[in-house]
Amino acid sequence: MDTRDEALRLSREVLALLLECGTKIDEYYRAFRELRLKEDRSPSFASALLNVEHAFFMVVQSMNVLREQLKLLEVATKKTEVE
């Protein structure tokens, strides 16, 4: 069973979702960063905010890896097998 068309459709769907989701994640990242920069009372709370920022960064990195793999999947759907 050739699943290339279905995989291509799904990958395009996910890529669109990643763009939408990535924009929202960036907004939240910036909001937490702004809070951390404004925090002047508690160094430990500022540290906790920094950890949240780092977690957002890691999510974005994972999304970038997923996006790259989806692009490679698209390339693979266009290749033909040599028999």
Which pLDDT score, from 0 to 100, does residue 82 have?
A: 65
pLDDT at 29 over 90: yes
- Asked if the structure places residue 76 within a domain, the reply is no
The DSSP 8-state label assigned to residue 41 in this structure reads S
What range defines the domain where residue 14 resides? 7-70
pLDDT at 83 over 80: no
Q: Where are the alpha helices (DSSP H) in 1-83?
A: 4-38, 43-78
Determine the straight-line distance between the first and last CA of the chain, rounded to whole angstroms.
16
Return the residue matching tokens 């937490």: 32
Number of independent structural domains in the chain: 1
0.85 exceeded by the pTM? Answer: no
Which pLDDT score, from 0 to 100, does residue 80 have?
A: 78
- Asked if the structure places residue 11 within a domain, the reply is yes
- Asked if the structure places residue 2 within a domain, the reply is no
Residue 40 pLDDT grade (very low, low, confident, very high; cuts 50, 70, 90): very high
3-state secondary structure of 39: coil
